[in-house]
Amino acid sequence: MRYSQSLIPTLKETPAEAVVASHRLLLRGGYIRKLTAGIYSYLPLGLAAVRKVEQIVREEMNRAGAQELLLPMVQPADLWHETGRYQKYGPELLRFRDRHDRESCLGPTHEEVITDLARREIRSYRDMGKNLYQIQTKFRDEIRPRFGLMRGREFIMKDAYSFDVDDEQSENCYQLMFDAYKRIFTRCGLDFRPVEADSGTIGGSFSHEFMVLADTGEDTLVICSSCKYAANMEKAAVKAPAADDAPLLDLEKVETPGKRKVAAVCDFLDIDPSELVKTLVFLADGEPVAVLVRGDREVEEVKLKNQIGAVEVEMADDKQVYDATGVPTGYLGPVGIKVKLLVDSEVAAMKNFTVGGNEKNYHMKNVNIGRDFEGTTVADLRQITKDDPCPECGAPITLREGIEVGHIFKLGTGYSEAMEAYYKDRDGEEKPMVMGCYGIGVSRVVAAAIEQNHDENGIIFPMPLAPVQVILLNLGINDAEISKVAESLYAELQEKGVEVLLDDRDERPGFKFKDADLLGIPLRVTVGKRLTKDGVVELRQRKDGSTEELTPEQLSDRVLALIDSAMKAAQ
RNA sequence: CGGGGCAUAGCGCAGCCUGGUAGCGCGCCUGCCUUGGGAGCAGGAAGUCGGAGGUUCGAAUCCUCCUGUCCCGACCA
């Protein structure tokens, strides 16, 4: 590829809209351009990087026995009505009517379409054990697209769906995918962790997310320092403490004028937030529920949602709290409360704690469960913290930020039953297909790779994802000798299978160096004055800035060796 | 959807408060010069000031509405 013929519009300055590194650098490097909110064009270099990810994904999916196909992006609403998701999915599903007034939608995911295909084409247990995947543009009308390729409305995704005869076979497939995903992200050269995850709206019984570790990640991961445990924070179980066996003290109502915040109440009563229990009200599918957690804890809404089987949970605002309980926020407590009450297991183990008095300007001290109120449900409802022990082995844990690049689910028979995707087993009996689904955010992988690998000068692509492996700078466009060597190295490297971008622009050296760094191409070859002076060209590695001088004859072997070792390192 | 910004040349911004013929840097075009870390000089092109309405002799500037976009929250590959 010749720079002069390609479209690589690099920018010296950062567009104001870009906040995170990957977005900034993809724009500056001329990899992508925004068309409208959350929708981007992939320019030649951006597409090249995407293709690298796709290729690795393809190879590993095929190796794991999956078959590639391509499903439609425009889908009839009827199919979505069958699973009930036409209503459930919400405004994220872009709906429209075609010229015949048929309700349609743009596919945000393809369970319905693939299940429809499976029920039509697969009838016998002999045909089962299929895993079908596609790499395709998805559209989700995200409430808030942001961070460039990290969270677009339109994005490239690999999604696979498996159809098995029973749980055991389905589990085998899940494990196969788990291993394939580990290989995929390793081959991409990324630092990642598979973690236990909540299965979200797609449903299903069990799932793992694959997280690229990066400070800009939108998820928090819990990683055990000792055992293999790793989980998304929203899923990470908190170990219930042993019950406090202190003797029960007498209930006491105290005046706390104007003290509404945990900090203010504790300060006023001279107690620690860990001795206070706060009562928070949530709206679960519109219904108010109260949750008790310790004053210094946070409610994990995902746990709450799963506990009560709600589709949506949100914190109630002051007015909603008052409407539901008749008590202003800040003084709410469990004693005599009017809404459904859930108790975090940590609180259930406490004795003689302080709560709101369910009356303006009052709190209650020495409150005890069982004596003063009944908790209808006791469950793990709070967010884990870095001071909590590993739920598996009890060792200390660490919290890290991560970017979700892959998610695998065991779906069970939910979709197949809803859509009547049955097969006949050996005994001629009709049975629902057992499904799994496995996604990878292909375009997001590119962004995540950059979040994890960049410096102040630009991108530092891992070799396997780099749009090209080598950038070859001709610093003497108007010098016959330099140009001749640059051209012959360009030809030679390509002949040997190396991907090369030849910078043949009539620009000053500094300009080319800056662009080369910005683009993040792993290897840079410079042909310039040192050739005419000393007969050498320079080979520089983007990742550590190390340089070596070689004769033009030595260059290609050295380049091949470096590429080879970089690719082997990511195996 | 709730909260908060922003919208002026391709990009980054000033001008707005206090109304009076639209500016800077980068980029772009031409010429000279220069050539190992985003050079220098000279000349040049380029803007419905997001849109609509209003106030005013006069609006980028003041008022109203609308749209777009970015950030914080709920969603997710």
What is the CATH number for A518? Answer: 3.40.50.800
Handedness of CA A487, A490, A495, A496 (dihedral sign): positive
Confidence class of residue A551 from pLDDT cuts 50, 70 and 90?
very high
Q: Examine the domain organization and report whether A179 and A313 are in the same domain.
A: no
pLDDT of residue A205: 63
What is the share, in percent, of chain A residues with pLDDT greater than 70? 99
A30-56 b/e (C-beta count within 10 Å ≥ 16 → b): bbbebeeebebebbebbbbbbebbbeb
In a domain, A503, yes or no: yes
A213 with A64, same domain: the answer is yes
With a cut of 80, say whether residue A202 has pLDDT above it: no
Range of the domain at A474: 468-569
**Residues A375 and A402 both lie in one domain:** no
* A209-218, A374-383, A525-534, range with greatest mean pLDDT: A525-534
Q: From the CA of A521 to the C1' of B67: give the distance in Å.
A: 40
- Predicted confidence band at A338 (pLDDT cuts at 50, 70, 90)? confident
| A517 sits within 7 Å of strand B by its CB | yes
Q: Is the CB of A11 under 7 A from strand B?
A: yes
What does residue A196 show for φ and ψ, rounded to 5 degrees?
Answer: -70, 140
Is residue A272 assigned to a domain? yes
Q: How many domains does chain A have?
A: 3
Closest listed residue to residue A153, CA positions, set A205, A94, A219: A94
Same domain? For A332 and A278 the reply is yes
pTM, entire model: 0.93
| Last-in-domain residue among A387, A419, A451 | A451
Interface pTM, i.e. ipTM: 0.91
Query: Is A35 a domain residue?
Result: yes
Burial of A320 by CB count in 10 Å (0-12 exposed, 13-18 middle, 19+ buried)? middle
Task: Confirm whether A161 is domain-assigned.
Answer: yes
pLDDT of residue A375: 65
For residues A45 and A317, the model is more confident at: A45
User: For residue A18, what pLDDT band results from cuts at 50, 70 and 90?
Assistant: confident
Buried b (16+ CB within 10 A) or exposed e, A215-228: ebbebbbbbbeeee
Tokens for A274, please give them. Answer: 């860990």
The residue among A311, A303, A277, A280 whose CA lies nearest residue A383 is A303
- Mean pLDDT score, A312-326: 83
Mean pLDDT of A370-378: 84
**pLDDT, tens digit (0-9, with 9 covering 90-100), for A27-68:** 999 999 988 889 999 999 999 999 999 999 999 999 999 999
Q: CB of A298 under 7 A from strand B? A: no
Looking at the fold, whether A479 and A355 belong to one and the same domain comes out as no
Q: Which of residues 179-218 of A touch strand B (CB under 7 A)?
A: 200-202, 209, 218
Strand B positions within 7 A of protein Cβ atoms: 1-2, 11-13, 25-27, 34-39, 68-77
Provide the CA A23 to C1' B23 distance, Å, integer: 30
Q: Is A447 exposed, middle or buried (0-12, 13-18, 19+ CB in 10 A)?
A: buried
Domain containing A343 — which CATH number?
3.90.960.10
Report if CB A350 to strand B is under 7 Å: no
Considering the domain architecture, whether residues A163 and A217 belong to the same structural domain is answered as yes
Report if residue A463 sits inside a domain: no
Banded model confidence at residue A557, pLDDT cuts 50, 70, 90: very high
Convert A378-427 into a string of H (helix), E (strand) and C (coil): EECCECCCCCCECCCCCCEEEEEEEEEEEEEEEEECHHHHHCCCEEECCC
User: In this predicted model, what pLDDT tens digit does every residue of A67-95 receive, in sequence order?
Assistant: 999 999 999 999 999 998 888 787 788 98
Mean pLDDT value of segment A377-401: 92
Mean pLDDT score, A385-414:
93
DSSP string computed for A526-562: EESHHHHHHS-EEEEETTT--EEEE-HHHHHHHHHHH
Answer whether residue A76 is part of any domain: no
pLDDT tens sequence across A94-142: 988 888 989 999 999 999 999 999 999 999 999 999 999 999 999 998 8
**What average pLDDT is seen over chain A?**
92
A445 and A512 in a common domain: no
Q: Which helix (H) or strand (E) holds A486?
A: helix A480-495
What single-letter DSSP state applies at residue A350? -
Closest nucleotide to the alpha carbon of A313, via C1': B74
Q: Are strands A287-294 and A340-344 parallel, antiparallel or unpaired?
A: parallel
Per-residue pLDDT at A546: 97
Take residue A545 and report the two structure tokens written for it: 């800035």
Average pLDDT over residues A463-476: 97
Is A245 inside any structural domain? no
- Pair (A354, A289) in one structural domain: yes
Secondary element (H or E) of residue A88: helix A85-88
Q: Is the pLDDT of residue A312 over 80?
A: no
Residues A19 and A134 occupy one common structural domain:
yes
Q: How far is the CA of A27 from the C1' of B59 (A)?
A: 36
Whether A177 and A37 map to the same domain: the answer is yes
Q: pLDDT: is A287 or A529 the higher one?
A: A529
With distances taken from each CA to the C1' atom of nucleotide B74, the closest residue turns out to be A314
pLDDT at residue number A87:
80
Tens-digit pLDDT profile for residues A205-215: 679 999 999 98
Domain stop point among A451, A486, A513: A451
Q: Which residue is nearest to nucleotide B1 (CA to C1')?
A: A143
Q: Looking at the structure, tell me whether residues A115 and A210 fall in a common domain.
A: yes
Residue A83 lies in a domain: no
Asked if A268 and A319 sit in the same domain, the reply is yes
Average pLDDT value for residue range A163-187: 97
Q: Tokens 């799932």 appear where?
A: A207
Q: What CATH number corresponds to the domain at position A208?
A: 3.30.930.10
d(CA A215, CA A420): 44
Q: Tell which wins on pLDDT, A299 or A499.
A: A499
